[in-house]
């Protein structure tokens, strides 16, 4: 697979997506309107356009407005928690066992097949062939939800290194992570750095979170995760300064 560019790795940025990307990645999920508007300007979004988008999002329940601050609405708080868990998987000691899921493919419509694939991918399974999904048994956190016509097994592969390479394109994943990392660690605030932060979230959600015993040398997932945390900390610090400046 060819390595994608930063534009291809980051989601398209509209006024609404800029706001949600900012707040989903901020702890606590609140930012001053001035900071949101300033970020929108990096993407050519006029302040009046961003203010109109904020008003629509408040009316729709996406946001809550308090004075000059905007908070993430209730409907997005659970997705934010899910995002946090997916970006920061908790790995456990690895005893060599793998989870295997065998899906009964027949009888599912396209929507059901797509939903099942999304669920398995979010739990960091990869597909060996149609209907057969695997991953190492090394993650804490919620197990797969109950699934119809799905059979689960525990297995120990003869050659886990070969299996791992068949399941994931690790070289491409690492190359794209380093591309994002380079853009994310440039000092200052810029359109490219914001796009890199959004791309980091997407990319880390697809990290196979392999055990140390199976990770390729120089695997960049943790470094990307730390750089993203540093970026969020800078935003939080800026938000606190803005909030203090807005106080009477």
Share above pLDDT 70 across residues of the chain, in percent, rounded to a whole number: 94
Report the pLDDT value the prediction gives residue 141, as an integer from 0 to 100: 80
| Model confidence pLDDT, tens digit, residues 210-233 | 999 999 999 999 999 999 999 888
| Model confidence pLDDT, tens digit, residues 109-150 | 888 889 899 999 999 999 999 999 999 999 998 778 888 888
| Model confidence pLDDT, tens digit, residues 33-75 | 988 999 999 999 999 999 999 999 999 999 999 888 899 998 8
> Residue 146 has what DSSP assignment?
P
Residue 199 pLDDT > 70: yes
C-alpha Rg value of the chain to the nearest Å = 20
| Model confidence pLDDT, tens digit, residues 37-48 | 999 999 999 999
70-97: b (≥16 Cβ within 10 Å) or e = bbbbeebeeebeebeebbebeeeebeee
Would you give the end-to-end CA distance of the chain in angstroms? 55
């Amino acid at each position: 697979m060819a390595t994608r560019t930063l534009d291809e790795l980051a989601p398209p940025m509209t006024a609404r997506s800029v706001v949600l990307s900012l707040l989903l990645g901020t702890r606590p999920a609140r930012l001053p309107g001035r900071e949101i508007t300033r970020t929108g300007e990096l993407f050519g979004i006029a302040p009046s356009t961003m203010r109109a988008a904020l008003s629509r999002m408040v009316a729709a329940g996406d946001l809550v407005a308090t004075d000059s601050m905007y908070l993430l609405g209730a409907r997005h708080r659970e997705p934010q928690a899910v995002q946090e868990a997916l970006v920061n998987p908790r790995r456990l000691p690895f005893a060599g066992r793998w989870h295997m899921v065998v899906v009964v493919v027949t009888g599912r419509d396209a929507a059901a097949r797509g939903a099942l694939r999304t669920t398995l991918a979010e739990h960091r399974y990869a597909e060996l062939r149609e209907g057969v999904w695997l991953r190492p048994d090394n993650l804490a956190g919620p197990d797969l939800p109950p699934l119809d016509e799905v059979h689960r097994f525990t297995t120990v592969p003869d050659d886990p290194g070969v299996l791992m390479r068949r399941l994931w394109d690790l070289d491409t994943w690492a190359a794209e992570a380093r591309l994002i990392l380079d853009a994310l660690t440039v000092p200052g605030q810029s359109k490219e750095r914001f796009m890199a932060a959004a791309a980091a979230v997407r990319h880390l959600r697809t990290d196979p979170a392999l055990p140390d015993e199976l990770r390729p040398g120089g695997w960049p997932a943790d470094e990307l995760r730390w750089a993203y945390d540093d970026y969020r900390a800078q935003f939080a610090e800026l938000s606190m300064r803005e909030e203090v400046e807005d106080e009477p």
